Structure 1
Amino acid sequence: MAEVKNVLFAGVGGQGIILASKILAAGLIKAGYDVKMSEVHGMAQRGGSVTTQVRFGEKVNSPIIGKGQADILVSFEIMETGKWLDYLKADGKVVVNEFRIPSAPILVGKIDYPEGILDEVKSKATTYSFDASKIAAELGNIKTTNVVLFGALVKAMGLNDIDWEEVIRETVKERFIDINIKALKLGMEQL
């Protein structure tokens, strides 16, 4: 693959965004790609915006994705999708967790949670939206939402030829391996 591909993960702190991008980067490196990754944490440890960017290809010079350059946006929360949509290529894809985490101003009643975000996203890009948090909760651990979304990302980008189960075995704590492999498979089944 000569062309560099760009993956943007967006959500809020505590959703496992960084782990999902580390799994992606580890698998891509094992597959022989040059990979660069960057991460940005919001002002709060939990609840603030978090994004990670993973770029991969034959040769990647920078870890940063500019506006209009992401091949795919993986959003862990609906409102975050709208914040990062400008970074998507014209022919880009979006994987969205149909989950809401109200920000502080929403929680105190100063503003309402914005409506119509998913409709806007769907009007601008090929969009795969499902409730990954519900799938993870039904699996027995809501913290596997990140790997459910990761499974959908793998399918959406056609990265099925990488042994993601092996990467998960090498990346997550031993006691969470089996449930994360199940989460990966369930995520892939969503597309």
Structure 2
Amino acid sequence: MSEAGRFDTTNILVVGTGGQGVMTATEILAEAAIALGHDAKKTEVAGMAQRGGVVSSHLRFGAKVLSPQITPGSADVLLGFEAAEAMRWRHMLRAGGLVLMNTGRLVPPVVELGLYDYPDDPVGQMRAAGTRVFSFDASAIAQELGDIRLGNTVMLGAIADHLPFPAEVLERCILKRFARKKAEVIELNRQAFAAGRAAAEQAARTAAEAG
């Protein structure tokens, strides 16, 4: 359970590119919060309509939430499905907030269009700016499990221990979505969730050792 639990409202910003499951991840996080009796509000913004366009999704939950919009400098957790997008949204974090970042590189269209230069070292640059970052290659983990689409579940596993409720609640909400699927699909998502938790835990240890 994270320090976010000290606040009346938890603010989570999920960012990435189209096709990575950003919006689905936010929906599942909201379902988990609602299942525990929280009021939850979310909003999504797709920068480009086609697959691969930049996507951001705001989620706020707590006893009573009036607006879904996270104001700059107030996000408790930034869940970055894509490294450059995570870096681009770092201004949204509150002091002491956490970035959970997938280092698997997927260049967004804003870079290809010349609107934004892809950073050479997103993790290093963010840490140099004083941002707390736990980084891991969720894309590689998903591929090792046999399906890149599992990256969504890996990322949810990564955030599971940084929420103001038990990780098992989030896991149940994920697996519920696959209730009518084959047993192997459910098991793969269970493994992906566990792998994401383990990756975030290892990233936290690595960050702590690095000082």
Q: Which residue of 1 aligns with 2:153?
A: 147
The answer (yes or no) to whether the contact 1:67–1:88 under 8 Å persists in 2 is: yes
- Give the TM-score normalised by the residue count of structure 1: 0.90
Which of 25, 34, 37 lines up with 2:30 in the alignment?
Answer: 25
What one-letter code is carried by the residue in structure 1 that aligns with 2:99?
A: V
Q: Which residue of 2 aligns with 1:75?
A: 80
Q: Which runs of 5+ in 1 are unaligned?
A: none
The answer (yes or no) to whether the contact 1:13–1:42 under 8 Å persists in 2 is: no
Q: How does 1:1-191 map to 2 (within 5 A)?
A: 3-104=8-109, 113-123=118-128, 124-157=130-163, 159-160=165-166, 162-172=168-178, 174-175=180-181, 176-190=185-199, 191=201
Task: Note the aligned Cα RMSD (angstroms).
Answer: 2.2
Q: Which runs of 5+ in 2 are unaligned?
A: 202-211
Question: Cα offset for 1:81?
Answer: 1.1
Identity over aligned residues, as a percent? 38
Structure 2 Cα separation of the partners of residues 186 and 28 of structure 1: 22
- Give the TM-score normalised by the residue count of structure 2: 0.82
Structure 2 Cα separation of the partners of residues 131 and 148 of structure 1: 10
Structure 2 Cα separation of the partners of residues 51 and 153 of structure 1: 16
Question: Cα offset for 1:178?
Answer: 2.5
Larger mean CA deviation between 107-116 and 78-87 belongs to 107-116
Instruction: Give the match's secondary structure for 2:89.
Output: helix
Structure 2 Cα separation of the partners of residues 9 and 37 of structure 1: 11
- CA change 1:29–1:112 in 2 (3 A) is closer
